[in-house]
Amino acid sequence: MRIRIPVLAGALALIAGLAPAAAQQVGPTIVVDVASGQVLQSDRGGTPWLPASLTKMMTTYVALRQVRAGRLSLDTGLVVSQRAFRSAPSKMGFRPGTVVTLDNALKMIMVKSANDVSVTIAEGVGGSVEAFAGMMNAEAQRLGMSGTRFINPNGLPGAGQQTTARDMALLARAMMREFPEQAQLWRIPAIRYGNRVMRNPNHLIGRYQGADGFKTGFTCASGFNVVATATRGGRQLIVVVLGATSARGRAETAAGLFERHFVSGGSGIGLDGIANDLSSGPPDIRDQTCRRRGPRGPVYIEAGEELDAEPVAAAHTADPGNLSYAQMMAQQQSRTARPGTRPTALAAMPGAVVSLLGPYRPSTDPVPVFIGSRAPATPPAGPALASAGNRAVTLPAAAPANVTVAPTPPAAAIAPAAGAIRGGAAPAAAIPVRHGAIAPTGAPMMLNGALPPERPATAPPRPAQRAAPATRQNRAANANRQTPRPAQRPQRPAAQP
C-alpha cells in the first residue's frame, strides 16, 4: 500500500496537534505607510471580501464630505425613521421620531457600530438608504476603490456588497488626510449615553501602544475584520485584517503586523500597484467563524462583535483566528526548524501565550453622546457667585460709577471669608468676590448660603411663628392675657309653665 507524501504529512501534523499550513492563514491583510502610501506588505490585498461594519467608514466619509460642502452641519438634527428603528442589531434602539445630531450619530456608528443610526444618517443626508448608497459608490469610484460596492450604510449582509483590504486601506488613508480635525471619531475608546457606557470593540485602542484608530466589523459570513492605525516614532501605519475567526485573533494579528513593520521597510509599491480581483465574489466563512461545537452538536454563535473578553486559545488549536501572532510565528518556526536545532522556548511550550496587547488603559474618559438637537442644559457662563444653596446670582455686565470690581481671590480664601461672615467678624471691605462680580463700595455683599447681616432697626417685623402646641402652662398664660371677648348673646326668656 502506498501513502502519498502530502497525505502523510497532513496526518502527522494533525497527530502533533498542528493544523496544515493552509489552515493557518486568516483572510487578506495589508500594511500601508500613511505618509507615503507605500505598501509594506500585502497578502491577497485585492481579494474580494465582505466588509461588514467597515462599511460605516464610508458612511462617515460621505457625511463629512457633505458637511465640508456646506450642505449640512454637524449640528444638523436627524430624525429616526421606522426603517431605522427596525434595523438589526447592533443598534442604539431609538424610537421613531427621535432626533439626534449628525455629530452624535457619527460617534455612535464609529464606536457602537449602531446599524439603526447608520440608516438615520443615510436618510438624513441622502434622502433614502438607496440614494445614500449611490453617494457611497460614487465616492468609492472617485477614490479608486475599484473592488468595492456598497448597497447599504451599515454593512448588513446583502447581495453585491463587497470590498478588498487594499480598498479599505485607501479609504482609511483618505479619511485621515482629508479630515485630520475629525480624528477623534475613529480613536474614541468609549461613548456614554445616559448611564450606559459602550466600549470600542477595537481591542487595540487602549491596549496597544500607539494605536489611534480605526474601525472593526463582524458578521458570521465575513469573519472578524479590522482597519487599524498606530503611530510610533513619528511614523503612522495602516493595517487591515479581514476574516479572522475571533475578536482577539484579529487584534493580535494586527498588533503583530504593526510590530514587524514599524522596524522594517516596504515593498516599494503604492496602493495603485495592488490589483483588485474583479472576476470573483467574496467568500462566506460562516462555518469557520460562528460554528462552535456545543453539548448537543454544532451551533452558530452570532453575537461575535460583543465578545470583548474572549480568551486566547491554546497553541495547539487549529483555528488561526484564535491564535496570537506570537503563537502563529512559533508554530511556523517549529515546522521549519532544521533537524538537530533547538527550538525556542515559546515554540517548545504548547499553550504559551505572549500577547502583544497590554491591560486596558484608555487615553480619555467615555465621550458623552445624547439625543435631541441640543446638548443637555448647562449653567450659564456669565459672571456669577457660586453658593452653598446651589443658586447663582448674575450681576450686571457694566459697573455703575459708585462700584468697584474686586480682583480674583484664591479659591481657598473664599471659604474662610464666608465663615467669617457667619460669625459677624469680617468687615464688609474684606469680603472677597470672584472675578467679574461687582461689589458696591462701602456696602457688604452677601454670599449665597451665608447668614445675612444684622437687620436695621427699621426692618419690617418677622412673620408670626407657628403656634406652639397647647400645654397646661401656656393655657394658663393665655388665660391671663387681656384679649377682647366676643359679645354675649341675649339670654332667652324662661319658658312659661
Catalytic residue numbers? 53, 56, 113
Could you report the per-residue pLDDT of 98-151, keeping only the tens digit for each? 999 999 999 999 999 999 999 999 999 999 999 999 999 999 999 999 999 999
In 10 A of CB 198, how many CB atoms? Answer: 19
Instruction: Determine, yes or no, domain membership for 161.
Output: yes
Query: Could you list the pLDDT tens digit for every one of the 497 residues in the chain?
Result: 444 443 344 444 333 333 333 333 479 999 999 999 999 999 999 999 999 999 999 999 999 999 999 999 999 999 999 999 999 988 999 999 999 999 999 999 999 999 999 999 999 999 999 999 999 999 999 999 999 999 999 999 889 999 999 999 999 999 999 999 999 999 999 999 999 999 999 999 999 999 999 999 999 999 999 999 999 989 999 999 999 988 889 999 999 999 999 988 666 789 999 999 999 999 999 888 887 766 766 666 655 444 333 333 333 333 333 334 444 444 444 444 455 444 333 333 344 557 899 999 988 899 999 999 776 655 444 443 333 333 333 334 444 444 444 444 444 443 444 444 333 434 433 334 344 343 333 443 333 333 344 444 455 555 555 555 555 555 555 555 555 555 555 555 554 44
- Contact between residue 449 and residue 392 where contact means Cβ atoms under 8 Å apart: no
The SS3 of residue 183 is: helix
Instruction: Determine, yes or no, domain membership for 393.
Output: no
**Number of structural domains the chain divides into:** 1
Structural domain containing residue 278:
26-288
Q: Nearest CA to 56 among 133, 131, 143, 124?
A: 133
Instruction: Determine, yes or no, domain membership for 242.
Output: yes
Q: Nearest CA to 217 among 54, 80, 356?
A: 54
CA dihedral of 332, 32, 239, 191, whole degrees rounded to 10: 160
Instruction: Determine, yes or no, domain membership for 81.
Output: yes
The SS3 of residue 179 is: coil
Instruction: Determine, yes or no, domain membership for 210.
Output: yes
Instruction: Determine, yes or no, domain membership for 262.
Output: yes
CA atoms within 13 A on the CB side of 196: 8
CA atoms within 13 A on the CB side of 388: 10
- Contact between residue 276 and residue 164 where contact means Cβ atoms under 8 Å apart: yes
What's phi and psi for 101, nearest 5 deg?
-70, 155
- Contact between residue 52 and residue 219 where contact means Cβ atoms under 8 Å apart: yes
Instruction: Determine, yes or no, domain membership for 398.
Output: no
Instruction: Determine, yes or no, domain membership for 481.
Output: no
Which domain CATH number covers 240? 3.40.710.10
Going by their DSSP bridges, the two strands 367-368 and 190-193 should be labelled as: parallel
